[in-house]
Structure 1
Amino acid sequence: MDGGLRSYGYDLDFDSQHGLVSSYGGTAADWLEDDNNHVFIFNLPGVSIENVRMRMVGTDVFELTGEYSSFTSEDKHFLSGLNVRQHIKERPTGSFVRRFQLLGEIRVEEATFFIQDGVLRVTLPKRRIRRIRNIPIIAKF
């Protein structure tokens, strides 16, 4: 990243190649790109896929939102009725947002995702850009 600032709880970074990248609440992400796809890999340990939303904002901003649960149903069952003091709280809780400014349009209808062991992989196929071809001009007098 080339630089960063903080605004209204969002971490904003400007990447000279890709534009604005923002986050709120934080979740680790990798962004990979080849000629055909943008691929995003997110660490989402303990996040249920039902608590995750993905969308395109306009034609060029990919957004991932979600929520970490503070306790699982098993945790709540264990803690019910007990006089419990919490000594350490390191696991993330609450909402998160990640936004990525993409160059070019995406074929949203062909986007795929896969989640396993708390790792979400999202593949966003690029819309092919038509190549520019020069048209020769022949002057006839």
Structure 2
Amino acid sequence: MKTRVRGVLVTPGGGVLTIKRVRPGKAPYWVLPGGGVEDDDASLTEALLREVREELGGEASVRSLIHVLEGPEDRQLFFLATIEKWDLSRRSGPEFADPSRGEYHVQEVPLTTAGITSITLVPEEVAALLAEHGTGVFALADLR
């Protein structure tokens, strides 16, 4: 089973960074930054920090693990983190070199019910969690 890490990256303005995925033949949808844990990642949080560097050209501060989603093919861990700045010109993930994987547009969305429900954020369970709690996600228990 593949382990994946994703970041709920809260910006100084109270938004959350998302990636709008545009793929041929599919309706656009949004995901949280992250990806698969690699063999040489020292920990799950290090894997997330690597993914943030690759996908956003940024550095995050991980606060807590707020959700775990078990599926038939993978296990996704959703970490709450803050991010002060990012530089898309420093993106380096392998997905950006393969045009067949579609487009990846970084979008900051307000971390409010209205903001989260204005996009199609997947997975739905995490979208519902964020819409329900907004910036109150910082009060959620750390599941580690």
* Higher relative contact order (Cα pairs below 8 Å, separated by 6+ residues): 2
Question: Same fold per TM (> 0.5)?
Answer: no
Structure 2 length-normalised TM? 0.23
Structure 1 length-normalised TM? 0.23
Find the structure with the greater CA-based Rg: 1
Higher strand content, 1 or 2: 1
Higher helix content, 1 or 2: 2
